[in-house]
Amino acid sequence: MNLFRQIASNLVKGPVPGDAAGGGTGGGSDPESDAELVSRSQKGDYSAFDALVTKHRGRVYAMIQNMVKNEADAWDLAQEVFVKVWKALPKFEARARFSTWMYRITHNVVYDWMRKRKFETVGELDDNVLNRERIAVGATATPAHGARPDEALVQAELRKKIEGALEKLNPEHRETILLREVQGLEYKEIADVMDCSIGTVMSRLFYARKKLQTLLTRTHEPES
């Protein structure tokens, strides 16, 4: 007789705190618009806020993960984003899209974290040093020629190259590229998120794209 089974039969059953919030909405068969959910959340309806979280957590987490490149930190920061969203919801006005406003909070949380991290590890976060190491790793591990028969491998390799190139961009350029090309935001929305002018967004896009192209061209060049 398994000891665990014996013990389990003595248990006291009860609801897991927060379980309904986590499992109940899961994508939602009756999706409400952000505006409706925001309006209900602003009145203190937590289930509406939970639905908003479920709807947007994937984008927030992806954005953060692509910026900080660490799962555990991205998880914590995504939590922080939604805590801030909840606290700031009463002040949210429907002039901007909810998602744009949420990206703005995400931007602030990530940059605060980066600043704090840089402050805590002065000297250790030298981008050039880190990037140089990554270039070397990518360069030796990545054959320049020869298509692989396995598409998944090719895709994985491509992803590695692109992620490596993105990491070599400075945070502003990387974020601009991610918001534009991956998240599909308009120039004006990116300007709102990053708290800069549209002209600055255009300029960042221009240089970030050029640098990205240069970096990826380099990784495709045969090793000498």
Partner 1 sequence: MNQNRKEELLTCWMDGTLSSEELSELEPVLAGHPELQREREEYVKLREDLQATIPAELEPPYPDFFNAHLERLVHGASRSPHAGPGGKTGLSRLWNWWMVPAGLAALLAAFMAGTLLNPSSVPPPLSAATAVYAPNKNVEAAAVDDKDLQATVIVLTGLADLPDENLIGWGGGSHSERPGLLISAFETY
Give residues 139-168 in contact with partner 1 (rule: CB under 8 A): 155, 158-159, 162-163, 166
User: Residue 222 CB, nearest distance to partner 1 (Å)?
Assistant: 18
The residue to which tokens 């992806």 are assigned: 62
- The Cα 45–Cα 120 span in angstroms is 38
**Sequence letter at residue 176:** T
Given the complex with partner 1, which of 87 and 218 has the nearer CB atom? 87
Q: Are 201 and 191 in contact (CB under 8 A)?
A: yes
Q: How far apart are CA 218 and CA 188, in angstroms?
A: 32
Q: Is 102 helix (H, G, I), strand (E, B) or coil?
A: helix
Cα–Cα distance measured from residue 29 to residue 55, given in angstroms and rounded to the nearest whole number: 12
Q: Of residues 57-76, which lie at the interface with partner 1 (CB under 8 A)?
A: 57-59, 61-62, 65-66, 71-72, 74-76
Contacts of 7 (CB under 8 A, 6+ apart): none
Decide whether 170 or 203 has the Cβ nearer to partner 1: 203
Count of residues touching partner 1 (by CB under 8 A): 73
CA distance 219 to 140: 10
Nearer to partner 1, 64 or 192 (CB): 64
**106 is an interface residue for partner 1 by CB under 8 A:** no
Query: Cα 156–157–159 angle (5° rounding)?
Result: 65
CB of 136 to partner 1, least distance (A): 22
d(CA 153, CA 120): 38
User: Within a 10 A sphere around the Cβ of 101, how many other Cβ atoms?
Assistant: 23
Q: Can you tell me which of 70, 117, 203, 218 binds partner 1, judged by CB under 8 A?
A: 203
Stretch 14-53: interaction string toward partner 1, x if CB under 8 A: xxxxxx-xxx-xx--------------xx-x-x--xx--x
* 78 makes contact with partner 1 (CB under 8 A): yes
CB of 127 closer than 8 Å to CB of 166: no
Segment lying near partner 1 (by CB under 8 A), choices 88-96, 99-107, 121-129, 143-151: 88-96
Using CB under 8 A as the criterion, what x/- string covers residues 170-189 for binding partner 1? -------xx--xxxx-----
Q: Output the smallest distance, CB 112 to partner 1, in A.
A: 11
Give the nearest distance from C-beta 74 to partner 1 in angstroms: 7
**Between 126 and 185, CB nearer to partner 1:** 185
